[in-house]
Amino acid sequence: MKCGISTSCLYPQETKESLYALLDSGFREFEIFFNTFRELQPSYTQEMRRRLEGCGGAVRSVHPFTSGFESSLFFSDYPARFSDGLEFYKPYFEAANGLGAEILVLHGQNMRGRYSGVAEEAYFERYLALFELGRQYGVTVAQENVDGFRSADPVFIARMQKSLGERCAFVFDAKQAVRAGCDPYEMCNAMGRRVCHVHINDNAPPMDCLLPGKGTMDYDRLLEQLKRQGYGGSFIIEVYRKNFARIEELSLSAQYFNEKLSGYFEESG
């Protein structure tokens, strides 16, 4: 197992150009962060896939650029918009298929906006409908813990896991937990054996997002915990462009984290 990286790390560089630059830097496992509708077109995803296959690379997950609209699309009290929202996300599932990705990252309901009144039971029902739609495409819709969103609360995540059982999945992101003021290990624990994807980063006061190895995150504790939880998914570096000066720093950070990984997970791919 080796860590991969999100194309979002090089934003606002165009998505496919970010992918190619990261491939040239030695990365072979990716999350594709779509930034516009044209990037969902088959011609665009096919071009990326050809380049990936030529380099022995693979896409594990996709991230919609419409995450900020998910409150309105899926978690408002307007039924017709929810139905249309399901149709609206089908191109993401198709793009995931085109790239060979098996996970779609969901932010969910923003608690700071106007669409914050959906009851918890309704949230779970809406998520489940999207989860089942993804299944039809062979894609797992995975709820990420995100600051400012309903998913920022580990108690909510634990209830979601208990309510939906095997019909849910989660993306763990350390920086989002820290930003929300909660213990990242508690958040990871709340996801239990349903965590299927990990965004890896570091932190140290007052910075909530740093490259792996540049902060105080206890990766030994985290990796041991994930191993106990039966984790078998990917580790994807996800930081912001302001968190590094040179692209070479990403490769060095990956090297650092891969050394940590080797002590807990067998290398594959």
Q: Indicate if the pLDDT at residue 15 is higher than 70.
A: yes
The answer to whether residue 77 scores a pLDDT higher than 70 is yes
Q: How confident is the model at residue 22 (pLDDT cuts 50, 70, 90)?
A: very high
Q: Is the pLDDT at 116 greater than 80, yes or no? A: no
Contacts of 240 (CB under 8 A, 6+ apart): 9, 11, 209
| Contact status, residue 51 vs residue 27, Cβ threshold 8 Å | no
Using the predicted structure, report yes or no on whether residue 195 has a pLDDT greater than 50: yes
Q: Which residue has the tokens 């930003």?
A: 179
What whole-number distance in Å separates Cα of residue 55 and Cα of residue 111? 41
- CA–CA separation, 92 and 204 (whole Å): 34
pLDDT at 70 over 60: yes
Q: How confident is the model at residue 115 (pLDDT cuts 50, 70, 90)?
A: low
Q: Which of 197, 194, 141 is nearest to 171 (CA)?
A: 197
Name which of 119, 104, 113 is nearest 149 in CA terms.
Answer: 113
- Other Cβ atoms less than 10 A from the Cβ of 35: the count is 18
CA distances from 223 to 195, 218, 220 (A): 13, 9, 5
Q: What is the mean pLDDT of residues 153-161?
A: 98
pLDDT digits (tens, 9 = 90+) for 166-179: 999 999 999 999 99
> What is the predicted pLDDT for the residue at 264?
85
Q: Looking at the predicted structure, is the pLDDT value of residue 268 above 50?
A: no
Predicted pLDDT at 265: 79
Distance of CA 14 to the CA centre of its chain: 19
H or E element at residue 204? strand 202-204
Residue 269 scores a pLDDT above 80? no
Task: Evaluate if residue 94 carries a pLDDT over 50.
Answer: yes
Q: Has residue 266 got a pLDDT over 80?
A: no
Model confidence band, residue 2 (pLDDT cutoffs 50, 70, 90): confident
- Specify whether the CB–CB gap between 30 and 254 falls below 8 A: no
- What pLDDT is stored for residue 1 in this prediction? 56
**pLDDT per position as a tens digit, 200-251:** 999 999 999 999 999 999 999 999 999 999 999 999 999 999 999 999 999 9
Residue that wins the pLDDT comparison between 38 and 1: 38
The size of the chain, in residues, is 269
- Residue 144 clears pLDDT 50, i.e. is over it: yes
Percent of the chain, pLDDT > 90?
92
Q: In this structure, which amino acid lies at residue 68?
A: G
pLDDT confidence of residue 111: 87
Structure letter (DSSP) for residue 120: H
Predicted pLDDT of residue 267: 56
Mean pLDDT of the chain: 95
Rounded Cα gap, residues 215 and 199, in angstroms:
15
CB 62 within 8 A of CB 95: yes
% of the chain surpassing 70 pLDDT? 96
For 4-261, the fitting CATH number among 3.20.20.150, 3.40.109.10, 3.30.2090.10, 3.20.20.70 is 3.20.20.150
Tally the C-alpha atoms within 13 A of residue 94's C-alpha that lie toward its C-beta.
13
- What is the model's pLDDT at position 112? 79
List the one residue out of 212, 205, 204 whose CA is nearest residue 239: 212
| Cα dihedral 40, 64, 161, 60 sign | positive
Q: Which residue has the tokens 């985290």?
A: 222
Q: For residue 203, what is the DSSP state? A: E
